[in-house]
Homo-oligomer: A and B are copies of this chain.
Amino acid sequence: MTELSLVKVYKKVRQVSEDICKPIKAEDYVVQPVVDVSPPKWHLGHTTWFFETFILKPYAHCYREFDPAYNYVFNSYYETIGARVIRTDRGNLSRPTVEEVYRYRSYVDNAMEGFLKDDPGPEVKELLVLGLNHEQQHQELLYTDIKYILGHNPLFPAYSLQTVEKPVQQVTAGVATVPAGVYEIGYGGTEFCFDNELGRHKVYLHEFNISNNLVTNEEYLQFMEDGGYKNFRYWHAEGWDWVKSKGVSGPLYWHHIDGKWMHYTISGLQEVQPSEPVCHISFFEAAAFAAWKGMRLPTEAEWEVAADHLNWGDRWEWTNSAYLPYPGYRRAAGAVGEYNGKFMVNQMVLRGASVATSAGHSRKSYRNFFHPQHQWQFTGIRLAE
């Protein structure tokens, strides 16, 4: 990338975050209805803080910090960088206001654009690309968190009448068979990837079949109607506890109204479409559905090897792989090293990408990860056996 294109790419990615927030009201930027959801103004501030903290403050000599208190407000989990607002308190902060957060963004963007006019050197470029990929991850969270905020409001306000959650058509049904053998997985290219995708390494796979398509709402409804949520046999013990203690009886956002299955979409309440891939289900539900079918979820290695043969269904796909380091994995030094490694316990890997993933952000080797009970991402099911 030339320096000019650096600035262009920077501005383009940064703009997307603000575009996502255009349809919402000042009040929507503030609330945090559950701990996993962050207020949109926090996402906007935090991604800005990333550039200020890791690029401007250490590398841009004349840079004057916007407000020292913001470090405390917008740090997410970087212990290296000091004290921070605890996660459950993000929704208790009315200040800085939305306007102040946008002013913070402009201020940092101006400084960044000035700074990037001269070649900042490879170390900064690497941090810049990391920062932009980081911002794209938060763009997906902006969608999922706004959906949660509006979708849990008793007035069910629509985010936008334009269809963000566009209908998905899965054309070629069927199954791909992959023969046994030693395969390579992990990122092997020369562009950016996250450290958890490195390095490319060999795995032995036994022969397996994997479905081309994702499980549809229609199939999932059969599971529900067959008592899937009432029969412990299909569930992990911790999944069954989760079903009972939370009273879960279907995907997040589903409501049974006047005899019909409706779901809250980002365009408001709509009827569930049978042919669409099921969405907003937890790992526990994905695994229980697979058990009910007499099948299983693929591992992440199987998924990656078969990826070229699969229809993508605009859902993150739960795998049956725990999120663990690849052979030879080492955390980066310093605060950036807190990015991935420290989360490698008690989470499951998801592969693919969703309707809310920023264009060009994901790839075949991309490893997303969430705790097994989470439903609020755009998550779906692919079966293997």
Contact = CB atoms under 8 A, between A and B. Distances in A.
Interface of A: 25-33, 41, 69, 72-73, 77, 79-80, 85, 89, 91-98, 149-150, 152-155, 157, 180, 182, 201-204, 206, 232-233, 235-240, 283-284, 287, 296, 320-322, 324-325, 327-328, 342-346, 348, 372
Contacts of A92: 31-33, 91, 152
A27 B95 contact: yes
A95 B153 contact: yes
Contact of A94 (B149, B237, B321): B149
Contact of A29 (B27, B41, B283, B320): B27
B238 A346 contact: yes
A31 B93 contact: yes
- Which 5 interchain pairs have the tightest Cβ spacing? A322-B322, A33-B92, A204-B204, A27-B94, A79-B232
A343 B237 contact: yes
A112 to B, nearest CB: 24
6 contacts: A27-B41, A29-B94, A31-B31, A31-B92, A77-B237, A91-B91
A157 B283 CA distance: 43
Contact of A320 (B235, B239, B325): B325
Contacts of A80: 233
